[in-house]
């Protein structure tokens, strides 16, 4: 009786061919983007999306072509941050689904752009009772499609705004093996640092380069006396960097204007360039640029 | 996954029609021996179906639809912008799917959805039907025995 290897092909499904053509599509797309960087944190709500948007704004202001892929499928926020309304008309043609264009000319793709109304949730079924493994498989496929089918044109930097947690990074590493690296974001609280430390260990284990760690909300300038006060108590974040041997990319202070809408659709970074927070973003961006330049 | 016809020692081929899942996840995939004509069905429950789908490709070969961008996302999300939903292949414009029928076909796992669609369309054409509704889909299911 014949064995598995004796049988050529798979009886008509051509799985190998399908997978190969998926990979080719992915490769052609990724080859047009010089540097791919994921911004992540083991912890939620620490400012990943806000910093992704503002760092992108900073890079765009310096003349780089920048795109942001919002990989927070269930909690997309990049569209809002860059003023791309959810009802933006989608342009679909042979090149793929064209990325939208937001503040500072930044290209974006986000689940929000695919949904019919602003309050439509991302649901993969009409019925309840889907298993977690099924939803996770669909999300993996969705991430592959978002990466392979979005038309960005040529880009210098593609920033990936990751969902909270560290579980998706394996997936990204598989799809984008040439990922320049990840930027970890933490706030100074000890619980956030505790979780981000695990995320760093994981990235080291799976072989994802770590560009460095950004400390967000690292202090608050008192509006009346201008003195800087800490917002959270916790171990010094630079100490965590030394322990984990990752670069410290800087401290972004708390600035309430980061969460405000500017009204004219501009990013905090561009609107308040002289603020300590914007200057800190500049410093982090310099370090990111240095990293990608010395590693390519 | 390959299927061998033992008496003929020949690989069985995936049948790309005759798929009409009754429930979104219980599947029946048919394989046929070209030499002796014998066919078999591989039946899977919800969990086994999920396992088969992990590979992220279509059973029976990639279709034209699967080449369109955001194919899975556009056709699987319970609500997505119209432009992403390639529910009806362009050349089959004369066939109208009722909303219920559309919803039912959308519930079929994406990696066999195009095979199921083809099965329904060819049944409708054989029977001169121009509207695909839930009743017609039930008939298809009775006919293909799944
Ligand atoms: N440096 C800062 N100063 C003031 N507010 C900030 C700062 N950084 C982030 N925020 C605010 O904190 C909130 C959470 O930020 P954001 O949504 O960017 O976090 P996230 O890590 O992306 O969250 P999630 O885990 O849900 O994706 C937002 O309201 C944002 O405006
Ligand atoms: Mg976020
Ligand atoms: Zn046979």
pLDDT at residue A173 tops 90: yes
* Residue B7 contacts A, CB cutoff 8 Å: no
| Average per-residue pLDDT for chain A | 91
Q: What is the pLDDT of residue B20?
A: 67
pLDDT tens digits, one per residue of A193-247: 999 999 999 999 999 999 999 999 999 877 677 678 888 887 899 999 999 999 9
CA angle B37, B40, B45 (to 5 degrees): 160
Element holding A250 (H helix, E strand): strand A248-254
Q: What is the pLDDT of residue A209?
A: 96
Write down the pTM of the prediction: 0.87
> How far apart are the CA of B124 and the nearest CA of chain A, in angstroms?
25
pLDDT at residue A57 tops 90: yes
- Exposure b/e, B114-139, CB count within 10 A at least 16 = b: bbbbbbbbebbeeeebeebbeebbeb
Residue closest to B27 by CA, chosen among B16, B9, B41: B41
- Nearest-CB residue to B79 (from A21, A96, A115): A115
- Nearest-CB residue to A18 (from B58, B76, B80): B58
Task: Give the class (CATH, top level) of A32-294.
Answer: alpha beta
Calculate mean pLDDT across residues A19-29.
Answer: 88
> How far apart are the CA of A279 and the nearest CA of chain B, in angstroms?
38
Going by C-beta distance under 8 Å and a sequence separation of 6 or more, which residues neighbour residue A281?
A51, A54, A55, A58, A252, A269
pLDDT-wise least confident of A276-280, B30-34, B39-43, B57-61: B57-61
Beta strands in A5-110 (DSSP E): 33-40, 66-70, 92-93, 96-98, 100-101, 107-109
Give the closest residue (by CA) to ligand 1 atom 10. A47
How many other C-beta atoms can be found within 10 angstroms of the C-beta atom of residue A98? Answer: 18
Calculate mean pLDDT across residues B27-49.
Answer: 83
- Exposure b/e, A218-255, CB count within 10 A at least 16 = b: bbbeeeeeeeeeeebebeebeebbeebebbbbbbbbbb
Collect all residues of chain B within an 8 Å Cβ-Cβ radius of residue A138. Answer: 72, 76
Q: What is the pLDDT of residue B90?
A: 47
Calculate how far, in angstroms, residue B93's C-alpha sits from the geometric centre of ligand 2: 41
Q: What is the pLDDT of residue A35?
A: 97
Share of chain B above pLDDT 70, in %: 84
pLDDT at residue B88 tops 70: no
Highest mean pLDDT among A142-151, B34-43, B97-106: A142-151
pLDDT tens digits, one per residue of A58-111: 999 999 999 999 999 999 999 999 999 999 999 999 899 999 999 999 999 999
Interface mutation vs chain B, best among A114, A132, A150, most B CBs within 10 Å: A114
DSSP letter, residue A163: P
B77, A122: Cβ pair inside 8 Å?
A: yes
| Average per-residue pLDDT for chain B | 80
Share of chain A above pLDDT 90, in %: 73
* Residue B93 contacts A, CB cutoff 8 Å: no
CA angle A296, A141, B26 (to 5 degrees): 160
pLDDT tens digits, one per residue of B6-27: 999 999 988 877 666 665 677 7
Calculate mean pLDDT across residues A128-150.
Answer: 86
Highest mean pLDDT among A52-56, A262-266, B110-114: A52-56
């Amino acid at each position: 009786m014949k064995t598995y290897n004796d049988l050529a092909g798979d009886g008509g499904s051509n799985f190998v061919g399908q997978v190969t053509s998926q990979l080719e599509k992915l490769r052609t797309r990724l080859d047009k983007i010089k540097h791919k960087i994921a911004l992540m944190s083991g912890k939620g709500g620490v400012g990943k999306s806000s910093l992704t948007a503002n760092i992108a704004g900073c890079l765009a202001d310096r003349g780089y072509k920048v795109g942001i892929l919002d990989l927070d499928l269930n909690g997309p926020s990049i569209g809002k941050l860059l003023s791309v309304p959810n009802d933006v008309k989608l342009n679909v043609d042979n090149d793929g689904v064209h990325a939208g264009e937001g503040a500072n000319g930044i290209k974006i793709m986000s689940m929000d752009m695919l949904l019919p109304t602003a309050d439509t949730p991302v649901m993969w079924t009409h019925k309840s009772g889907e298993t977690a493994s099924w939803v996770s498989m669909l999300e993996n496929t969705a991430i592959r499609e978002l990466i392979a089918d979005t038309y960005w044109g040529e880009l210098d930097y593609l920033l990936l705004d990751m969902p909270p947690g560290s579980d998706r990074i394996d997936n990204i590493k598989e799809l984008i093996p040439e990922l320049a690296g990840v930027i970890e974001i933490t706030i100074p609280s000890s619980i956030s640092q505790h979780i981000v430390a695990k995320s760093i260990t994981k990235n080291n284990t799976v072989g994802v380069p770590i560009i460095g760690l950004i400390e967000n909300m690292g202090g608050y300038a008192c509006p009346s006396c201008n003195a800087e006060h800490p917002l959270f108590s916790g171990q010094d974040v630079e100490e965590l960097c030394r322990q984990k041997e990752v670069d410290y990319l800087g401290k972004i202070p708390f600035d309430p204007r980061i969460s405000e809408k500017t009204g004219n659709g501009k990013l905090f970074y561009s609107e308040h360039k002289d603020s300590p927070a914007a200057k800190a973003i500049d410093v982090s961006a310099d370090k990111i640029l240095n990293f990608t330049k010395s590693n390519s | 996954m390959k299927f061998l016809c033992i008496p003929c020692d020949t690989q069985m081929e995936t049948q790309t029609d005759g798929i009409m899942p009754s429930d979104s996840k219980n599947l029946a995939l048919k394989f046929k021996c070209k030499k002796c004509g014998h066919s078999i069905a591989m039946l899977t429950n919800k969990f086994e179906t999920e396992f088969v789908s992990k590979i992220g490709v279509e059973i029976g070969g990639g279709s034209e639809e699967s080449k369109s961008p955001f194919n899975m996302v556009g056709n699987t999300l319970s609500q997505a912008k119209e432009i992403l939903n390639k529910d009806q292949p362009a050349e089959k414009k004369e066939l109208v799917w009722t909303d219920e029928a559309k919803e039912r076909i959308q519930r079929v796992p994406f990696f066999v959805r195009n095979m199921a669609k083809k099965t329904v369309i060819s049944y409708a054409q054989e029977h001169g039907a121009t509207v695909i509704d839930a009743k017609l889909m039930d008939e298809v299911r009775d006919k293909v025995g799944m």
